[in-house]
Structure 1
Amino acid sequence: MKAMIVNQFGGPEVFEAAEIDKPQIKPQHVLVKIAATSVNTVDTMIRQMGAELPLSPAAPALLGMDFAGTIEEVGEGVTEYQVGDEVYGCAGGLADLPGTLAEYIVADSNLIARKPKNLTMQQAAAIPLVGITAYEGLQRAGIKAGQNVLVHGGSGGVGHIAIQLAKHFGAKVFSTGGGEPQLKLIEQLGASAINYRTESVEDYVQKHTQGVGFDLVFDSVGGANMANSFAAAALNGQVASTVSMCELDLTLAHFKGLSLHVVFMLIPMLHNHGREQHAKILKALTTIAEAGELTPELDETDYQLAEVSKAHERLTSGKAMGKVVVSI
């Protein structure tokens, strides 16, 4: 089958076209003809860092985690799916799991679900990693109807899904962005936009919560921005972070009695632990999408498999809105 592989880790140009063996079916797995995949930040980190990142596969590596496609073969023990089902999931591209920058993947049936009927393959491929991350973070932080929820980075891959899910759960949603296109998208998604470049945390906390703070802060920016999340949270508030690889002073979190939820959605894939939870979340996301309450935003660019280098360049440029998708 056709694939784009990495023989040497580095810049976006390292992808090479190759013909590799089509994967063989295994028990509890399904063989999927891939229609589309999407690029996530972790994909660019693996491509750049290689062995420096503990979750990276060894070279020659087949990257790519998300996919949408059609089942062509069902493995022993799989009863929920059959040939011809359109499915989506996040099932490869790290450690010893071959990725999705190819025509086929053999995916663990606990890492997939039927794709939303009202979404295209490209739209469905944009959801799994960011959708599971956003859903898990909001759920672990105990989101409830009527809460004031702040999403940092609302025009990004995880953030724009978190806005829609928070609204689905009945919250009043606010979100930060740094430019007119980003703020416009945030408003279109149904959140009140906050320009973090022109408004201080203190200003927008006062403006939107009368100084009380947000009940739940979902931080898809992370790193140094987590200090802003602590400052924006209410007393005994909840903070969910997707980027927590940093040193941080927790003094403010202590004195405000905050709860911090670190979301690392790759754990089930890396450790083969609780994979069925991903299937459960994906099924919930399908239901929400089919109800018209979740539609991924696709970047204006359009790439084919041979152009994956350009897709990686697009995501790392910081200019992409929503998700960068690659059609196979």
Structure 2
Amino acid sequence: MLAAAYDVHGHPSKVVSVKEIPKPPPPGPGDLLIKVSYSSLNPADFKSGLGEQAAILSFQWPRTYGFDFSGEVIEAGPATNPSHAVGAQVFGMIQGLPQLHRGTLSEYITCPSSVCAIRPVNVTHKDAAAVPLVAITAVKMLEATNVKEGAKVLVLGGAGGVGSIAIQLAKKMFKCGELTTTASAGLKTEAVKSFGADAVVDYRSQKFEEVLPHNSFDVVLDCMGEAWRAVPLLKEGGGMCSIQAGPTASCLRTWMEEAKLDPRTVTTGVRPFLFSTVGGGLFNIFSGGRSLKSACEARGATFAHIIGTGNGEIMSRVASLLAAGEIQAVIDSEFTLQDSVKAIEKLMAGRALGKIVIKIEA
């Protein structure tokens, strides 16, 4: 089968190629063999491909790019969800990190049935594939802030993959009130307004922390690594969540558990370090997580950092909103599997409005 694969970490233009790799073996208990129709890209793809996790995890090679997928179940292992029988149209995000037979820029993948949701009949594979990682991340971010109905929300980076769906989910799933975001003037400002933003700050001409009133937001979602600048904007009792700034040991512990990482793939000493009081504390100091948490707590607010992984329960909730037309995929551009490297390079340039999708099927 064809896949965008690589045998060593590095820049995609140097190490990634679309080539024949072995087809996955028959799925085991709880797993599905899926023929992928579409995938999509996320910053996590190239970060992992550059070797961001290489110091703490080992991998099955060749690795394949891609977390998100939409496709058809070709074979179902024992003890899978009955609705995910052969022929079912499913979409979702893989568990853990892309590996051999699990990266989704590939004609076939194996993944747990538990991370899949049924693709609504009125939603295309293309749109479905653009949603999983960013939607799971956005839902987990909002839940981490203990968001309440009617909350006043600030999304930093509303035109990006996570930000564009976070605006929609804040409004439609969590029933938030006034929503402010940051985006460049012109096309991106008009886009975020169409997603549901009530006010937009042009980050190129204004500093949001200067033009927005302090002590005014119940929730701040940081998709850009600008959490520190937003701390004064939080209300007492509010919550901030970042996917860029201040990673914490508790966040990594949660991700390792939810991703169901094989303990044999975790570098010796990493797990005891992160799961110990002393090791976790040291990690929080050097990552900046402790100081960000302390700054928010000084205002009577909370801070969390999250990492998304495959989650079928969240995907089913998102699927219902997609089916009802309450939220929509935000797609910047489409590439073929053969042009995967060009797609990854465009993502790395950081100018996409929403998601870059990859058509896998010929």
TM-score (norm: length of structure 1): 0.89
- Correspondence for 2:266: none
What's the offset of the Cα at 1:97? 6.5
What's the offset of the Cα at 1:28? 0.6
* Distance (Å, rounded) in 2 between the aligned partners of 1:48 and 1:18: 19
- Number of aligned pairs? 311
Deviations 1:134-168 (A, max 9, x none): 01111221222211111110000000000000111
What's the offset of the Cα at 1:252? 3.5
Q: 1:304–1:96: structure 2 CA closer, same or farther, 3 Å change rule? A: closer
* Distance (Å, rounded) in 2 between the aligned partners of 1:63 and 1:57: 13
How do residues 236-275 of structure 1 correspond to structure 2 at under 5 angstroms? 236-244=237-245, 245=247, 246-247=287-288, 249-250=291-292, 252-266=295-309
Mapped pair 1:181 → 2:183:
no
- Correspondence for 2:342: 310
- Correspondence for 1:295: 328
Deviations 1:115-146 (A, max 9, x none): 13322111111111111000111122122221
* Distance (Å, rounded) in 1 between the aligned partners of 2:234 and 2:341: 39
- Correspondence for 2:175: 170
Q: 1:296–1:54: structure 2 CA closer, same or farther, 3 Å change rule? A: farther
What's the offset of the Cα at 1:55? 4.9
* Distance (Å, rounded) in 1 between the aligned partners of 2:212 and 2:303: 19
Mapped pair 1:32 → 2:64:
no
SS where residue 216 of structure 1 aligns?
strand
How do residues 88-237 of structure 1 correspond to structure 2 at under 5 angstroms? 88-91=91-94, 93-94=97-98, 98-168=102-172, 169-171=174-176, 172-191=178-197, 192-206=199-213, 211-222=214-225, 225-237=226-238
SS where residue 228 of structure 1 aligns?
helix
What's the offset of the Cα at 1:183? 1.3
The amino acid across from 1:148 in the alignment is K
**In the alignment, is the contact (CA less than 8 A) between 1:91 and 1:97 conserved in 2?**
no
* Distance (Å, rounded) in 1 between the aligned partners of 2:65 and 2:209: 42
SS where residue 80 of structure 1 aligns?
helix
* Distance (Å, rounded) in 2 between the aligned partners of 1:117 and 1:133: 24
**In the alignment, is the contact (CA less than 8 A) between 2:220 and 2:241 conserved in 1?**
yes
Deviations 1:87-114 (A, max 9, x none): 0011164367621121111110111111
Q: 1:323–1:10: structure 2 CA closer, same or farther, 3 Å change rule? A: same
What's the offset of the Cα at 1:56? 6.6
Aligned sequence identity (%): 32
What's the offset of the Cα at 1:70? 0.7
How do residues 18-29 of structure 1 correspond to structure 2 at under 5 angstroms? 18-23=19-24, 24-29=26-31
**In the alignment, is the contact (CA less than 8 A) between 1:241 and 1:261 conserved in 2?**
yes
Q: 1:53–1:128: structure 2 CA closer, same or farther, 3 Å change rule? A: farther
Point out where structure 1 has 5 or more consecutive residues left out of the alignment.
270-277
- Correspondence for 1:73: 75
* Distance (Å, rounded) in 2 between the aligned partners of 1:138 and 1:83: 34
Q: 1:204–1:146: structure 2 CA closer, same or farther, 3 Å change rule? A: farther
* Distance (Å, rounded) in 1 between the aligned partners of 2:203 and 2:235: 18
What's the offset of the Cα at 1:203? 4.1
What's the offset of the Cα at 1:173? 1.3
- Correspondence for 1:281: 314
What's the offset of the Cα at 1:49? 2.3
Point out where structure 2 has 5 or more consecutive residues left out of the alignment.
248-286
* Distance (Å, rounded) in 2 between the aligned partners of 1:54 and 1:254: 30
SS where residue 312 of structure 1 aligns?
helix
- Correspondence for 1:273: none
The amino acid across from 2:299 in the alignment is K
Indicate the RMSD between aligned Cα atoms, in angstroms.
2.0
**In terms of mean alpha carbon deviation, does 54-63 or 69-78 score higher?**
54-63
TM-score (norm: length of structure 2): 0.81
**In the alignment, is the contact (CA less than 8 A) between 1:50 and 1:56 conserved in 2?**
no
